[in-house]
Amino acid sequence: MKILVPVKRVVDYNIKPRVKADGSGVDTTGVKMSMNPFDEIAVEEAVRLREKGAASEVVVVSVGVQKAQDTLRTAMAMGADRAILVLSEESPEPLAVAKVLRKLVEKEEPGLVILGKQAIDDDMNATGQMLAGLLGWGQGTFASKVEIADDHARVSREIDGGTEEVSLKLPAIITADLRLNEPRYASLPNIMKAKKKPLETIEAAELGVDMKPRLSIVSVAEPPERKAGIKVGSVAELVEKLRNEAKVI
């Protein structure tokens, strides 16, 4: 079975993003970019499934600008076998990405697609579910455990207030939650080897997918600042403030 893993290049999670002065978006020029942390977890899970013998090949794909090939190389250094880059504008909407991925799924015929549960830039949490809908496949979102047995995947899902288990008929879509695994670091020899692994580049237009955004950005603004608070010296003072000043207890 082949596993397809879509990965996204995003502003590194340690960086505090700055809103552009003209309110048109977030400034990404010269900012450190990395693989979306949830996608690292997805790549890790796919590689582990191949190591366990449940999969034969791991193919990573990214939809975005030329620079996204760095992200694909990172995924190959973690153990993915080959990569596909679909060239488009920066950060297309989940609907467009899901349509691109559907085309690739039709071409590659994977038995499983593992995505991250959300990207930390647009915080959409939608692409996996949308791809599952377009393909008519079962979806195991927010997965914290995955087991493959014959033609089924048994998935534990993080839900409000606990965990739910579902069984999905393969082929299926899984989206990775934080607790699924601890992604490995790419070793230097593997980073060198990843440079030689195949990376295919396709123009989004060649796939016949309409990439035009459905949502237009009216403005992007800084959230309201909180007023600076005070430091207190004792527990008694803290409780007094909460009782009489803030009136919350």
Choose the binding region for another protein from 52-60, 74-82, 193-201, 214-222 (rule: CB under 8 A): 214-222
Q: Checking DSSP bridges between strand 2-6 and strand 57-64, what pairing results, if any?
A: parallel
Choose the binding region for another protein from 59-67, 106-114, 131-139, 199-207 (rule: CB under 8 A): 131-139
Residue 160 binds another protein (CB under 8 A):
yes
Residue 131 binds another protein (CB under 8 A):
yes
Residue (150 or 160) nearer to another protein, CB: 160
Which of 161, 189, 196, 208: binder of another protein (CB under 8 A)?
161
Which of 29, 53, 185, 235: binder of another protein (CB under 8 A)?
235
Residue 217 binds another protein (CB under 8 A):
yes
Residue (109 or 200) nearer to another protein, CB: 109
Residue 111 binds another protein (CB under 8 A):
no
Name 27's Cβ contacts closer than 8 Å, sequence gap at least 6.
Answer: 17, 18, 19, 20
DSSP assigned state of 152 = E
- Which residues lie across from 145 on neighbouring strands? 156
Q: Comparing C-alpha atoms, which of 82, 59, 74, 39 is closest to residue 175?
A: 39
Residue 136 binds another protein (CB under 8 A):
yes
**Total residues in contact with another protein, by rule CB under 8 A:** 82
217: left (phi over 0), alpha (psi -120 to 50) or beta: beta
Name 114's Cβ contacts closer than 8 Å, sequence gap at least 6.
Answer: 3, 4, 5, 42, 45, 46, 174, 175, 176
Residue 110 binds another protein (CB under 8 A):
no
Report the site for another protein in 55-94 (rule: CB under 8 A). Answer: 93-94
| 36/115 Cα distance (integer angstroms) | 10
Which of 121, 174, 183, 209: binder of another protein (CB under 8 A)?
121
- Which residues lie across from 10 on neighbouring strands? 34
| 117/180 Cα distance (integer angstroms) | 11
Residue 16 binds another protein (CB under 8 A):
yes
Report the site for another protein in 172-211 (rule: CB under 8 A). Answer: 172, 177-179
| 30/196 Cα distance (integer angstroms) | 27
Residue 21 binds another protein (CB under 8 A):
no
Report the site for another protein in 38-57 (rule: CB under 8 A). Answer: 38
Residue (12 or 57) nearer to another protein, CB: 12
* 198: helix, strand or coil: coil
Residue 26 binds another protein (CB under 8 A):
yes
The distance of closest approach from Cβ of residue 223 to another protein in the complex, given in angstroms and rounded to an integer, is: 5
